[in-house]
Chain A
Amino acid sequence: MVQTHRCEDHETVGENKEKRPKFFINDHVDILIEILKRLDGRSLCVAASVCRLWCTIARNDSLWENLCFRHVSPPPSSVRSVVLALGGYKRLYTGCVRPVRSRLGRMRKASWARDEVQLSLSLFCVDYYERLGGSNSNGRLVGESSPSSLMFLCKPVNV
């Protein structure tokens, strides 16, 4: 999708070097947001490297919230305050939801979608708790180890 937009600009510029392009997506931020809302996680990260405007939009947590709950019926509003308190949707998605979804991808059942998010949320919470320990002045409580409860998700799967 991102590529198509670029092509459009190119074609217009290529065809008519004298005229300015008639449609420039960055002038229509609301449309841009609608489009970026529908991207998957990886494309969203790529989109963040396009230009400063896209970067600002892509960093907006509500886009990532959309990603997390895309295939699930809208969650109760209390979820948002909890997730924001624990570190935000982008962190939730990249740290938990995406690896959980890809690992479970092989055996996924449609009914699991909501449970996947709930499990991700629980794991996210444990991770937040560990990060609390690390940032404390009493960090030596957990020895010198950095938060690692999500390591089992990060390491490459060796099947």
Chain B
Amino acid sequence: MLRYDSTSSSAGSSSGSLSSSSSSSKPPQQDIDGLLAGAGYKVRSSELRQVAQRLERLETAMGNSPADFSQLASDAILYNPSDLACWVDSLLTEFAEPPPTCSSDFIVDPVNNQTVVNSAWTAAEPHTPQVHQNITYDEQQSLDNQLTVVTAMEEDSGIRLVHMLMTCAECVQSGDLSLATSLIDDMQGLLTHVNTVCGIGKVAGHFIDALSRRIFQGMGGGSVNGGSAFENEILYHHFYEACPYLKFAHFTANQAILEAFDGHDCVHVVDFNLMHGLQWPALIQALALRPGGPPLLRLTGIGPPSPDGRDSLREIGLRLAELARSVNVRFAFRGVAASRLEDVKPWMLQVNPKEAVAVNSIMQLHRLLGSEQTRNSPIDTVLSWIRGLNPKIMTVVEQEANHNQPGFLDRFTEALYYYSTMFDSLEACRVQPEKALAEIYIQREIGNVVSCEGSARVERHEPLAKWRRRLSGAGFRALHLGSNAFKQASMLLTLFSAEGYSVEENEGCLRLGWHSSPLIAASAWQAVPAWDNHMSSS
């Protein structure tokens, strides 16, 4: 009862003119909404919008604090519930909503207040349109304030979650598994207070899972990628649809390959990971339309062997061949089935010395890295036979992240930051079920980075600067991706409905990122012609 009065009196005190028309003692009869009156509620038509917004806030508040609600149901005495506006106000104050938001609804711009005062006193109408405008503006502000109050609470939990994740990772690194386990439990409890549909809650959930897998399976635990090659292909495909990273990779690499093949009549592309071959239709079409006519195109696709006797590589090859036939490009396909890239030997590719070769590696080279820098490690072997092929161009696209550090905590911190950014960018995608499956794809990467070790950990991402050093040391020099590639990448990004993607050029390489955090980097390389053999072993 007291609160009820204070609401109306605070409204009255901040703008005396309005109290004459809005106090409960004499409601202006001509303003009651007819339809609601039929249902038994008295709401002034002019206040319908306000009441609706407050009902929404009430619903949010009730959802956020179910404990308070049950208390409310038993203890509260509310008078005159049919006066919906005041009833909602009093309930809101019960939920300890910050009172200023109520009175600020009536805090009118001092300049306009004068006009309102005059019109309320002079004219007989209860609410002039000007009053409406003022209320709407301030109400919107108070609504925004209301929303920030709710999310600040969530933000706190989110920050605590991140701190706990870091502490847990530190425990894992130092071997204190008991503390780590109890932290996992605490974090899972904290997850229930955070919105796990988006934002930090979602990413944190995946990292908590990966950490617990690491703790409970011991070091060198089972491979996260228990999925078959078929499953991986499907997840990859949906990752391709949901966000622009792979499209950017394909289009940029294609542009570079197209330019490198200029003037050659026999060309050969070696793809280190064929998947569904989604990169190649665009190249085939571009070659079909190049001035001077298309060359003879050979494509060698490397991929994992199919388990059930299906030859998936050959099926993709047939599809690509059909497309090439439709656009009159002479085409030949060869599939090389290998479960690991280091098992591939150059003779399997059957490269003709007269043809121009392009090697295309989309996020494959990092799998060859080991944690120790030994001589003749897989990466060195592969890079040296690539050099031996003397390719016109080698296109390399890699994740722009440092996930191959020896220290677990450093790796974990980097991964947390990187994948949070990636999940943020995925939020903008509205296409389901692509988005959900793309998330599973990323989740598997996270699992591999965090919970696997030794040969099971294949996601050993390194940043562009490191790749530059490595590739220069192996006898390659960088080719600049031209302005056409940059233009195409910018256009492609604009097509995606989220406005957070950015592409930047960095010494001839292109990096795609979300809000200026680079996530994926594309570069092009060529073998240095005269290379001293004894230098490559250092």
Contacts and interface: CB of A to CB of B under 8 A. Distances in A.
B234 A143 contact: yes
B240 A149 contact: yes
A141 B278 CA distance: 13
A87 B293 CA distance: 21
A97 to B, nearest CB: 12
A145 interface: yes
Contact of B497 (A112, A143, A159): A159
Interface residues of B, number: 44
Interface residues of A, number: 43
Interface stretch (A1-9, A50-58, A123-131): A123-131
Contact of A125 (B276, B277, B285, B319): B285
A158 B498 CA distance: 7
Contacts of A115: 487-488, 491
A30 B512 CA distance: 50
Interface string B280-311: 01101110110101000000000000000000
Contacts of B286: 122
B111 interface: no
A152 B497 CA distance: 8
Chain B binding surface, main DSSP class = helix
Contacts of B405: none
A116 B491 contact: yes
Among A126, A128, A143, max chain B CB count under 10 A is at A126
Nearest to B312: A141
A94 to B, nearest CB: 16
B431 A128 contact: no
B240 A142 contact: no
Interface stretch (B323-331, B359-367, B368-376, B527-535): B323-331
B237 interface: yes
Nearest to A158: B497
Contact of B278 (A106, A121, A126): A126
B285 A151 contact: no
A82 B281 contact: no
A78 interface: yes
B275 to A, nearest CB: 11
Nearest to A85: B326
Interface string A104-137: 1011000010011001011101101110110010
Interface string B203-246: 00000000000000000000000000000001001101100100
A81 B319 CA distance: 19
B488 A119 contact: yes
A126 B237 CA distance: 13
Among A99, A125, A136, max chain B CB count under 10 A is at A125
Contacts of B284: 125
Contacts of A158: 428, 430, 497
Contact of A79 (B277, B289, B315): B289
Among A85, A99, A112, A136, max chain B CB count under 10 A is at A85
A155 B497 contact: yes
B156 interface: no
Given A112-B491, A145-B237, A148-B434, A125 B499 contact: no
B494 interface: yes
B417 interface: no
A151 B319 contact: no
A115 B484 CA distance: 9
5 contacts: A125-B282, A130-B278, A141-B276, A152-B495, A159-B499
Closest 7 CB pairs of A and B: A129-B281, A122-B282, A125-B285, A85-B326, A157-B497, A125-B281, A82-B327
Interface of B: 234, 237-238, 240-241, 244, 251, 254, 276-278, 281-282, 284-286, 288-289, 291, 293, 312, 315-316, 319-320, 322-323, 326-328, 428-431, 434, 487-488, 491-492, 494-497, 499
Interface of A: 76, 78-79, 81-82, 85-86, 99-100, 103-104, 106-107, 112, 115-116, 119, 121-123, 125-126, 128-130, 132-133, 136, 138, 141-143, 145, 148-149, 151-153, 155-159
